Amino acid sequence: METAAITRAVPGDAERRIALRRMKRVATSLLAVAAVVFAVSFALQDEIAWMGYVRAAAEGAMVGAIADWFAVTALFRHPLGLPIPHTAIIPRRKDEIGASLGAFVEHEFLSDEVVLGKLRSIGISRRVGGWLAAPENAERVTAEASVAARGVLTMLGDDDVEDVIERLARRHLFEPEWGPAIGRIGAQLVAADQQRAAVDAVLEKAESWLAGHPEAFGRMVSERLPRWVPGFVDRLVDDRAHREVLAFVRAVRADDAHPLRLAIDRYLAELADDLQHDPAMIARVERLKAELLASPRVREFAGEAWAAVKATLVDGLADPSSELRTGLRAAIVEVGTRLATDDALAAKVDDWVTDAAAYVVRNYRHEIAGVITETVERWDPRETTEKLELQVGRDLQFIRINGTVVGALAGVAIYAVATGVHALAISM
């Protein structure tokens, strides 16, 4: 398997490297001191009786120091470069260590009890809500979300979006029959007298136009009279027709029960019924719909709609003072405030987050822990060893120092016991 070097420096590596070298020098210096003391005491032990105890202490210190040096070194590399069995444990068993670490994390840290218990205890919704309720945090979230949204809008292809809009329009607007739907809406409007507002608007507009354009109305009437009619008769007819039509429109406006109003209501009610139940009317509406569907304006409408929406969104997201950004920021603050103060809502959100985490943990804990195993497998053995030694090597040097001290004490103790037993045997 191809391995990857660990090239990213961990903060503090330089300080750890200096501390590791210092502790190695201290431990090695103690071994050297013990060797010098052993050499001196060994030479003088026949002349000075108590030098035997010093020699025994120095000898034990050397044995302890060398043994612990071998043990510590064997974790990371072969001592003295010799391929001694069961040495260089970390680089040789790196993959097994990674697999064991991944399994440990999977079963101990990603268990349901640990993950769900922690989530229930920290109150996620209240913490998130309190953070979002702060205006500066809401502004930060809004800014980040705006940048992300603008990036998404930039990446979206206009043609693709227009295709989606066109397909949605065809599926939801053009595929269903229009006649029955329009008829049902029209029947409901007529039943609720909602058509009266439209009729009043038309009548108001008609009255306003007639009152302001008597000459234009008069010309429409006089142009239809025979040419042999005298001019003064034309003017009389124009004036009379204008006054009658204007009076009629005003009468219709003033009387809610006017026959024209009732006739319009009956016509609209019959039209709504025909749109729902008359096959001929339904077919006629469908033909009109088919003509509209075949028009290139449908595609043009999709393009124009998307262009307008996109431009509005991009401009609104780019401007911190826009209504879109302001509304989003206010919504975030409101959501945060509700999460922080509404116990029922906070409980629902916590339950939702806990359920989602439980689903992820139960279904993907092996894959999550597998990241550790796969990452360790990709590491270069040599650099992995160096990184691990930087993290724990300084503390391991204390093992060498302690071994030197304990070896010295053990050597003195063993020599003292042996000397005492020997003296006792001689005396007996």
**Segment 208-267, tens digit of pLDDT:** 887 777 776 655 555 554 454 444 445 555 567 777 888 888 888 888 888 888 898 888
Does position 15 have pLDDT exceeding 80, yes or no? yes
Residues 254-281: what's their mean pLDDT?
Answer: 87
More confident residue, 230 or 175: 175
Does position 188 have pLDDT exceeding 50, yes or no? yes
More confident residue, 375 or 24: 24
Does position 123 have pLDDT exceeding 60, yes or no? yes
Residue 4, beta-bridge partner list = 379
b/e map 313-325, b = 16+ CB within 10 Å: beebbeeeeeebb
Winning range, highest mean pLDDT, from 253-257, 357-361, 407-411, 420-424: 407-411
Residues 114-127: what's their mean pLDDT?
Answer: 82
Give the DSSP H or E segment for 381: helix 381-427
* Whole-number pLDDT of residue 54: 93
**Cβ atoms 182, 285 nearer than 8 A:** yes
Instruction: Tell me the torsion sign for CA atoms 349, 350, 351, 353.
Output: positive
d(CA 41, CA 52): 7
Within 10 Å of residue 186's Cβ, how many Cβ atoms? Answer: 20
Query: For residue 272, which of 369, 209, 386, 188 has the smallest C-alpha distance?
Result: 188
More confident residue, 272 or 173: 272
Query: For residue 414, which of 63, 71, 70 has the smallest C-alpha distance?
Result: 63
Reported as a single tens digit per residue, the pLDDT across 54-105 is 999 999 999 999 999 999 888 888 888 888 888 888 888 888 888 888 888 8
Least confident of 168-182, 220-234, 400-414: 220-234
Residue 242: strand, helix, or coil: helix
Does position 345 have pLDDT exceeding 90, yes or no? no
Within 10 Å of residue 137's Cβ, how many Cβ atoms? Answer: 16
Spell out the residues 6+ positions from residue 189 whose beta carbon is closer than 8 angstroms to its own.
Answer: 195
* Whole-number pLDDT of residue 5: 47
Here the tokens at position 246 are 């204007």
**Cβ atoms 129, 340 nearer than 8 A:** yes
Question: What is the pLDDT of the chain when averaged over all its residues?
Answer: 81
* Whole-number pLDDT of residue 2: 47
d(CA 353, CA 126): 12
Does the global pTM surpass 0.85? no
Q: What are phi and psi of 88, to 5 degrees?
A: 50, 50
Confidence tier at 172 by pLDDT (50, 70, 90): low
* Whole-number pLDDT of residue 253: 84
* Whole-number pLDDT of residue 237: 55
* Whole-number pLDDT of residue 217: 60
Residues 299-321: what's their mean pLDDT?
Answer: 78
104, 116, 159, 352, 398 from 109: Cα distances, Å: 7, 11, 48, 21, 30
